[in-house]
């Protein structure tokens, strides 16, 4: 069982928006603004989409946005495109002992 | 092109050892902290080790502490993971990751490790 809880799957139609939640605790998501999100096409290298809760790396479209409230972080993908269909993982810093915890991953289906 | 390429994975018997390597290119390797992250079959991602650019700080997940050793050679732009006393639950794809701004910025495509008799 992963430390952070994500829905196993979400879906949306092209052009719509979807939000993926990531629930942790006051020791990880709630304690640090170091939540990141990764897009992972199986067999490929995972790709950083969001870091520091809501920052986008260079080259990531502004259709991807992140937020956090309390112990829950969220990734919102607007204007869904077919190529967005894949797995998404959240991650949070959890202090100097545990270091990093991941969510179990969410499979996004574009209908 | 920024790139990380892992190697050294394979099939090993329980209790055996394996050494993973990661070759970095396209960025200033010595300025990046590096991590190993693994993905077990059908499951999610798990962070397992961290090493600073100068190797002066190293950390491990409890699941591998005492069995795995991370090291790096900045002159060779390479990261290593020595894995001893391997268990079935260590079966996973192992990713080499460049770490900056409290995020896993650069990922390799991974190398598969299978621990089985």
Q: Answer yes or no: do B59 and A38 touch at CB < 8 A.
A: no
Per-residue pLDDT at A1: 66
**Strands, DSSP E only, in chain A?**
9-12, 18-23, 35-40, 47-50, 64-69, 72-77, 87-93, 100-102, 106-110
Rounded CA gap, A30 and A40, in Å?
25
End-to-end CA distance of chain A: 28
**Model confidence at A88: pLDDT above 70:** yes
The minimal CB distance from A102 to the residues B4, B46, B110 is found for: B46
Provide the number of CB pairs (under 8 Å) joining chain A to chain B: 60
A20-74 tens-digit pLDDT: 999 999 999 999 999 999 999 988 999 999 999 999 999 999 999 999 999 999 9
Q: What tens digit of pLDDT does each residue of B16-36 get?
A: 999 999 999 999 999 999 999
Q: Which helix (H) or strand (E) covers residue B45, if one does? A: strand B45-51
Gap between the Cα atoms of B100 and B13, Å rounded: 35
Does B43 score more than 90 pLDDT?
A: no
CB-CB under 8 Å, B50 with A99: yes
């Amino acid at each position: 069982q992963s430390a952070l809880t994500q829905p196993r799957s979400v879906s949306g139609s092209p052009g719509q928006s979807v939000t993926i939640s990531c629930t942790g605790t006051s020791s990880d998501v709630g304690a640090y603004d170091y939540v990141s999100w990764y897009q992972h096409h199986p067999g490929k290298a995972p790709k950083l989409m969001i870091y520091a809760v809501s920052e986008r790396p260079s080259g990531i479209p502004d259709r991807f946005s992140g937020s956090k409230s309390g112990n829950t972080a969220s990734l919102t993908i607007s204007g869904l495109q077919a190529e967005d269909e894949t797995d998404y993982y959240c991650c949070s810093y959890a202090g100097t002992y545990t270091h990093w915890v991941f969510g179990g991953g969410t499979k996004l289906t574009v209908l | 092109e920024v790139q990380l390429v892992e190697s050294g994975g394979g099939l090993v018997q329980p209790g055996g050892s394996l050494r993973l390597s990661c070759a970095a290119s396209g960025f200033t390797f010595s300025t990046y902290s590096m991590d190993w992250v693994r993905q077990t079959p059908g499951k999610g991602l798990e962070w397992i080790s961290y090493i600073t650019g100068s190797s002066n700080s190293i950390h491990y997940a409890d699941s591998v502490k005492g069995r795995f050793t991370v090291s790096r050679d900045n002159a060779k732009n390479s990261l290593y993971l020595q894995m001893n006393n391997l268990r079935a639950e260590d079966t996973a794809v192992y990713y080499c990751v460049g770490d900056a701004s409290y995020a896993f910025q650069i990922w390799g495509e991974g190398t598969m490790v299978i621990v089985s008799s």
